[in-house]
Amino acid sequence: MQELFNIFLVLCMAAMVTCRSVDFSLVLQGQTNVMNYGAAGNGATDDSKAFMRAWSDICAGKSDPTLVIPGGRTFLLRPVQLLGPCKPCKIYVEAWGRIVAPSRMSDYGSSHLDCWIRFWRVNGLTVRGNGQIDGQVVGGQALGFSFCNNLQIYGLNVINSPSKHVKLFRCNGAILSNLNIKAPKESPNTDGIVIGESSQIQVHDDNIGTGDDCVAILKGSSNINISRVACGPGHGISIGSLGMNGAYDTVEEIHVQDCSFTGTQNGIRIKTWQGGSGYARKISFQSITLNAAENPIIIDQYYCPQLHCPNKTSAVKVSDISYTGVQGTSMTKTAINLRCSQSMACTNIELNRINITSVGQKFITSSFCLNAHGRASRSIPNMRCLMK
């Protein structure tokens, strides 16, 4: 009797939680395939309504929470917003087919141009498969995930976004792995992965080559591990820019390990504007390989892409930054460039086992420091410019 009562109690409690774990062997129709919702999958018919209908059934807990986008087909999607919160605790999107954006701006619609496929307030989402998401170089950023907790994105090929390829905004807990992200080297603002105001994020085993940052970590982000990511072409891994228009911005606990940079404009970069405040701290770069990178190691507290920024008296504080085991080749002479604020010096900058030589050993690389304090050991170029 007591046992029955316990079971009853557990069932009641399970019914009280907001999202539901459903026993899907009980769902008769099986996975939620977009083809069963009227998708044509011929690359010409607009399939966005079919996707939205399938999504709304899944989100409402009316069908199996696995959205299947079958392989061997091409789905044309106008901008779609897949909104939560949803009933199921876990939702899966299996993307095996090709998903393409409209190739003409006129087909794109004008409603939400900033993002093509956006997931909003969806918790426990896993997007996986070897499908290709093709932005067709029109419209806005390709894949957006906003306010998502416990997100996983695995294996996708995301190409030709006219803007950012994958963006997380206000996500807590995410793993982005085995992604292939590609856009032409000459395409502006086509960041690979962008992480803003998010924490507890793992980015690993990805291959990213675009016209802008490989991975960009924006303000309000913390506890981010990036490992085994191959970058290039593009602008490398960037933290910032922080402190734009006098903003108070913070970033901390960012760890980059076992990453490579091939033909990138920068390697590992921290950039802040003059006049901001806040901090970028507890950041480590370990086991980094450079192949003909232009600015391998750079801290730029004078970030100013438009070239008309007056110097200000406040700055984002940069501290506790370590570089360990960074080796390879630089295209430029100044392989290590630490340009710290004159009002707020960089402190506790540590460099160990650095060996950055010039491509083809054509010239001797050098380092530059401005208001940078810390320690270095076994570094080529030497770091005598660093203040104790």
Ligand X SMILES: *[C@@H]1O[C@H](CO)[C@@H](O)[C@H](O)[C@H]1NC(C)=O
Task: Name the site residues for ligand X (rule: CB under 6 A).
Answer: 200, 202, 223, 225, 255, 302, 310-311, 342, 355, 357, 380
For residue 212, the minimal CB distance to ligand X (Å) is 24
For residue 90, the minimal CB distance to ligand X (Å) is 19
For residue 361, the minimal CB distance to ligand X (Å) is 7
Q: How far, in Å, CA of 122 to CA of 139, rounded? A: 23
Alpha carbon 121 to chain centroid distance? Answer: 18
Cα-flanking dihedrals φ and ψ of residue 244, to 5°? Answer: -70, 140
* Known catalytic residue at 235: yes
Binning the chain into helix, strand and coil, the percentages to the nearest 5 are 10, 50, 35
Pick 7 or 364: Cβ nearer ligand X: 364
Pick 138 or 195: Cβ nearer ligand X: 195
For residue 376, the minimal CB distance to ligand X (Å) is 14
Pick 202 or 324: Cβ nearer ligand X: 202
Amino acid identity of residue 141, one-letter, is: Q
Pick 120 or 302: Cβ nearer ligand X: 302
For residue 181, the minimal CB distance to ligand X (Å) is 20
What is the separation, in whole angstroms, between the first and last Cα of the chain?
Answer: 73
The two three-digit tokens of residue 108, written as one number: 């794109």
Do 276 and 301 touch, CB atoms closer than 8 A? no
CA proximity to 219, closest of 193, 246, 240, 192 = 240
Candidate list 235, 255, 308, 373, residue with the active-site label: 235
Sign of CA dihedral 307, 311, 316, 318: positive
Do 295 and 336 touch, CB atoms closer than 8 A? no
Burial track 215-247 (b if 16+ CB lie within 10 A, e otherwise): bbbbbbbbbbbbbbbbbbbbbbbbbbbbbbeee
For residue 275, the minimal CB distance to ligand X (Å) is 11
Give the E-state strand segments of 103-170 in sequence order: 115-120, 125-128, 132-134, 141-146, 149-154, 157-159, 166-169
Q: Which sequence positions are flagged as catalytic?
A: 235
